[in-house]
Amino acid sequence: MSNLSERELAATIDHAILKPELVRADVDAELDIAAEWGVFSVCVRPSDIAYAVKRLDGTGVAVGTVIGFPHGTTSTAAKTAEVAQALADGASEVDMVVNIGFLRSGFDDAVVDDIRAVVNAAEGRIAKVILETSYLDDDQIARGSRLTEAGGAAFVKTSTGFGGGGASVEHVRLMRASVGPAVQVKASGGVRNLTTALAMIDAGATRLGTSAAATILGEARAIERGDGPTGATDAASY
């Protein structure tokens, strides 16, 4: 299993702050966690982007958001409009949900066109494509990964965390094997402890989406200090 330092592991984490019921005090607490632990980025609800950018100014933590979330069924025009607003509000990365029904239907050209439009709207910022693997069989996951690459996205991502299932090691491996080296894999949904995080990285993920950054990095810190693991948590989706 990978032997990453706390700092190296933090650099893989997009701390998710996406639950619809969160009030501003909850958002503040999660943004503070992200800053305290030095994660790579936060992934916030679109309406929280500008606020998160301001609150995290000077911390080195990037701000990303979601597009077409969580179902992926909004029109391409709506998705690109969301991207334009996200960039105006200061987002540096976008995680779009693929049109799951189109992918399952075999409408490959429409899927690629949808992805490419979002990638173009992102104007050079990192764009990730969420497949929602719990709704797909292995052939659809592999095909969705290839379509993500064809659409020019930088990452293919497992899950929203709201679709009834999260990331699995097997699906991360399949996604990694289905795309070329220029496309990275993000494991998201159910990554809630250090053991799971490292297993996803070993399977080929280079970014982790999780709301459990403090738990994961706290376990890594305890090991670095010689205290041993602090104990795994339940692998429920975020």
The residue type at 34: A
Q: What percent of the chain has pLDDT over 70?
A: 95
Does residue 235 register a pLDDT over 60? no
89 tagged catalytic? no
**Which candidate in 14, 95, 114, 128 is catalytic?**
95
Q: Cβ neighbours of residue 182 under 8 Å, at least 6 residues apart?
A: 149
Report the sign of the C-alpha dihedral through residues 235, 42, 84, 156, in that order: negative
**pLDDT range class, residue 18, cuts 50, 70, 90:** very high
- pLDDT of the residue at 211: 97
79 tagged catalytic? no
Provide the CB-side half-sphere exposure for 127 (13 A, CA).
30
Q: Where are the domains of the chain?
A: 6-224
Q: What is the mean pLDDT of residues 56-66?
A: 98
Q: Where are the beta strands (DSSP E) in 45-172?
A: 62-67, 93-97, 126-130, 155-157
**Which candidate in 157, 202, 227, 234 is catalytic?**
157
Q: What is the mean pLDDT of residues 98-121?
A: 98
Q: Where are the beta strands (DSSP E) in the chain?
A: 13-17, 41-44, 62-67, 93-97, 126-130, 155-157, 184-188, 205-210
For residue 205, the cross-strand partners are: 185
Whether domain 6-224 has CATH 3.40.50.170: the reply is no
Tens of pLDDT, residue by residue over 145-204, are 999 999 999 999 999 999 988 999 999 999 999 999 999 999 999 999 999 999 999 999
Does residue 94 register a pLDDT over 70? yes
